[in-house]
Structure 1
Amino acid sequence: MPSPWSQRRDVSPENSRLLIERAHEELLAGNLADERLADVRALVRESWRRSLERLVGAESLPPLDLDASSLAEYRRTHPLVGVIDMVRGLLLPGGADESGVIVAVGDEAGRLLWVDGDRRVRTLTGDMGFVEGANWSERAVGTSAPGTAIELDRSVQIHGAEHFNRLVQPWSCTAAPVHDPETRRLIGVIDVTGGAEAATPQAQLLVDATARAIESELLVARLRSRATPSARPRRTTRRVEPKRSTLRVLGRDRALLEVAGDGAETVSELGARHAELVLMLAVHRQGLSAERLAELVYGDPEATVTLRAEMVRLRKALERIAPALVPESRPYRFAAGVETDAHQVLSLLDRGAHRVALAAYKGDVLPDSVAPGVEEFRDTVRMALREALMAEASVDVLLAFADTDAAADDADLLRLCLSMLPARSPKRAGLVARIERLDSGS
């Protein structure tokens, strides 16, 4: 079956892109009474005003509200988990890889739970943070189809320059809210994002029809389960998220341990040795023998006496600040999962969110540590970031990476940036000078 998005259709927004861009600049400059704002659709104009009032950044990346483990757990119990195949079948019938658009399913708060579609488009939109786990509500990113559809509780189309966030303005999108079929409570949002073809009248009809089909399917499934006494009722309520623990080690020698849950969060700074131990247990979730952990931290598998003494001190420290994280022994391991900000960067790279991953990369893992296990993990994260960006990131993201300490002396990266820049780009001269300095060894 051919994809409904495979052929571009002409889109005629109410106003030209240039007029909308000028109105947007006047709005950001604080000229709220400027006559150019009259050239903008009322729906968009009011959304822009809400974005300003909420202090949304015009070039900020969306927050990543759900890390990999939290996202997986949340999706398993979300009311829309059983209709994802239906969404793909209705909106990507010709196959995802060549559809030219991406399809996202989010919750009622605007957090994207599933993102599928054209691989090239996913890579490009990932750079602006349109990835699973990211918050695309109006409060987070301003005017966009999914966020504004939730805000207004109706289907919405946003064309290019109508987006509040400049990073999103190359794209167009159509979104529709999804409701509980009985209570009519908002439970999610369906969005299609791509070029002009993603915001046509036909696109709005298709996305609206998909949302109604989802609600009908949810109702049928619910009635079927009630009619079958032996059938176990399908869970549509959400589990309370368990406590989440995050170890922040990027660009830090004294790591921060954040424990969140039950409406509270504690943040504790760990000493250098405790940071190394907690990091190794977070990286090796299956557990480590005393000999292996001693080798990773002290460089000597026979340093088990020293290790055990330090583990006693670590347990006492964790009993005070995070009792659930007191490690087990034989092997040494955490019973509860501990995420790290370094793993979050790797997860973002896997999702194609290169710009967000780079923004989250605050520096090397525990940069002053000489523990062999830390050094190995540090190199793994740095190389994964470099290889992913060089393989798929845009030139703007690569240039931003080239300005970090991790890539300042990377001549191959600089040459790649030079090859991707237009011939008349003013940035070429600076790159050439940097490359020449590196080649000369000065």
Structure 2
Amino acid sequence: MTITTGHPAPEPALATGEDPREFAQVLHAVYDAAMAGERLPARPRSVIGQSWERAAHAGVDPDRGGPSDPIAAADLTERRRSSGLADLLDDLTHGLDAVVRDSPNILVVADADGHVLWRAGTSAVRRRADHLGFVEGASWAEGAVGTNAIGTALASGRAVQVFSAEHFVRTHHAWTCTGAPIHDPRTGGLLGAVDVSGPASSIHPATVALVDSVARLAEARLQIAHHDQLDMLRSVAAPILARAGRPALAVDEFGWVAAVDRVPPRRRIVLPSDVAPDRMHVAGLGLCDLEPLPGGWLVRPADVESRTGTTVVITDEPDGRAIVTVRTTDGEWAHRATPRHRDLLAQLAVHPEGRSAAELASTIFDDPTRTVTVRAEMSRLRRTFGGLLTTGPYRFARDLDVTVA
């Protein structure tokens, strides 16, 4: 019932067995040539080269960096509260304790905008981080400080290790950092990133795999919590659905389905952006009555077959498309149809008795054998218009006033 987000395999900055000092010298030569606009003696890794381009386009100064003023304490507190990361702190710190405890490394958790929300490490490493402006509330997005593990992990959507002169700002070249993004399994969107940073000499190829694994475990915990929330919603909704007496679904605030009754099973629906207790259009279900539930919504498709006073107006546009406007006694909504969908709907409008897939294929494509294409297109239309369209044969629901303008 949750989104599974694919993650590219993490790529260490340094190959196993490679000499960090020699590699750092090569990186410095590449960096100096890139900043001077000269021919590069070697090519940076693609994730780094792309990040340098983004940082330059954002106007980051490689000698001075970006703004270092952290956000106010009140804003930091609010960001922590709303980040969705607070419940993961114990998992993140426990999973990375081995590379932070009694070491020169610092552990950082940042939000989706790249602002540092929490830090953990010895007082000595925190003081060194302070000199770089690597403090709670500071922005480490690429647009603020250029290439770095937090900002680049967020921008690229993958775990990344940034070593020495791979950093865009010169003052960061004495550091190595490893970061991985953390996604929200309910939406697939970014929640933030976890990062381990320290002196460049502390680089280890295995660190990026470890940090990435800890981030994935954090996402797994969120996924388990989401399953638990859906189970709770299901227990609340079950007696309501049993008494509803009509097709209905119980969904959480993100549209994930917890329970259904007399509605074709589905994993998720797309709720309107302005969802409210009202009669609204829901993609794939048509006009629905929405009622709040603890932790979600009760969604009940309107019984358009038995309703009178519902009109459908298909208005042609110059490019062959059409605006389909559905008006009921409770309001109206509109959908912009493709030329092919416009032709199918127009056929159903002039044939209220209905048309078979073969009949539609013969009319639309001049080929009665193209029934598979017709069925696929009609399936898409029914996901949009819900109960306004029926099958066996394909037709508009009874008691609808359909006009092609």
1:204 aligned counterpart, secondary structure:
helix
Deviation (angstroms), 1:20: 1.8
For residues 202-228 of structure 1, what are the alpha-carbon distances to aligned partners after superposition, in whole Å with 9 as ceiling and x for unaligned? 111110111111001111122223333
**Quick check: which has more Rg, 1 or 2?**
2
Counterpart position of 1:307: none
- Distance 1:201-1:93 versus aligned 2 partners, 3 A rule: closer
2:118 aligned counterpart, secondary structure:
strand
Which residue, 146, 161, 172 being the options, matches 1:168? 172
- Give the distance between the partners of 2:110 and 2:220, measured in 1 at CA: 18
Counterpart position of 2:83: 78
The code of the aligned residue for 1:23 comes to V
CA contact (8 A) 2:173 2:200 kept: no
For residues 348-384 of structure 1, what are the alpha-carbon distances to aligned partners after superposition, in whole Å with 9 as ceiling and x for unaligned? xxxxxxxxxxxxxxxxxxxxxxxxxxxxxxxxxxxxx
Which residue, 206, 210, 215 being the options, matches 2:210? 206
- Give the distance between the partners of 1:94 and 1:53, measured in 2 at CA: 34
Residue correspondences, number: 222
Deviation (angstroms), 1:162: 1.2
Deviation (angstroms), 1:193: 0.3
Unaligned residue ranges in structure 1 (runs of 5+):
1-8, 238-442
Q: What is the TM-score normalised by the length of structure 1?
A: 0.46
Counterpart position of 2:68: 63
Counterpart position of 2:230: 226
- Distance 1:152-1:15 versus aligned 2 partners, 3 A rule: farther
Residues 1:20 and 2:24 aligned together: no
1:60 aligned counterpart, secondary structure:
coil
- Distance 1:188-1:95 versus aligned 2 partners, 3 A rule: closer
Deviation (angstroms), 1:129: 0.8
Which residue, 99, 118, 133 being the options, matches 2:122? 118
The code of the aligned residue for 1:171 comes to W
Deviation (angstroms), 1:43: 2.4
- Give the distance between the partners of 2:119 and 2:30, measured in 1 at CA: 31
Deviation (angstroms), 1:196: 4.3
Counterpart position of 1:105: 109
Q: How does 1:332-347 map to 2 (within 5 A)?
A: none
Counterpart position of 1:149: 153
For residues 80-105 of structure 1, what are the alpha-carbon distances to aligned partners after superposition, in whole Å with 9 as ceiling and x for unaligned? 11011111111115874x23211111
Residues 1:54 and 2:61 aligned together: no
2:106 aligned counterpart, secondary structure:
strand
Q: What is the TM-score normalised by the length of structure 2?
A: 0.50
CA contact (8 A) 1:92 1:99 kept: no
Which residue, 95, 104, 116 being the options, matches 1:90? 95
- Give the distance between the partners of 2:100 and 2:48, measured in 1 at CA: 32
Q: How does 1:395-410 map to 2 (within 5 A)?
A: none
Deviation (angstroms), 1:169: 0.7
Counterpart position of 1:30: 37
2:228 aligned counterpart, secondary structure:
helix
1:167 aligned counterpart, secondary structure:
helix
- Give the distance between the partners of 1:68 and 1:198, measured in 2 at CA: 32
1:35 aligned counterpart, secondary structure:
coil
CA contact (8 A) 1:142 1:164 kept: yes
Identity %: 35
- Distance 1:11-1:198 versus aligned 2 partners, 3 A rule: farther
1:124 aligned counterpart, secondary structure:
helix
For residues 23-79 of structure 1, what are the alpha-carbon distances to aligned partners after superposition, in whole Å with 9 as ceiling and x for unaligned? 222222233xx132x343232222222222221011225433521121012212321
Which is richer in helix?
1
2:206 aligned counterpart, secondary structure:
helix
Name the Cα RMSD after superposition.
2.8
CA contact (8 A) 1:15 1:39 kept: no
Q: How does 1:232-381 map to 2 (within 5 A)?
A: none
- Distance 1:69-1:197 versus aligned 2 partners, 3 A rule: same
Deviation (angstroms), 1:137: 1.0
Unaligned residue ranges in structure 2 (runs of 5+):
1-15, 237-251, 255-405
2:113 aligned counterpart, secondary structure:
coil
Deviation (angstroms), 1:139: 0.9
CA contact (8 A) 2:110 2:116 kept: yes
Deviation (angstroms), 1:135: 0.7
Residues 1:44 and 2:51 aligned together: no
Tell me which moved more, 128-137 or 9-18. Answer: 9-18
- Distance 1:30-1:46 versus aligned 2 partners, 3 A rule: same
Counterpart position of 1:216: 220
- Distance 1:129-1:163 versus aligned 2 partners, 3 A rule: same
CA contact (8 A) 2:114 2:192 kept: yes
- Give the distance between the partners of 2:144 and 2:86, measured in 1 at CA: 24
- Give the distance between the partners of 1:122 and 1:61, measured in 2 at CA: 20
- Distance 1:178-1:29 versus aligned 2 partners, 3 A rule: same
- Give the distance between the partners of 2:66 and 2:125, measured in 1 at CA: 17
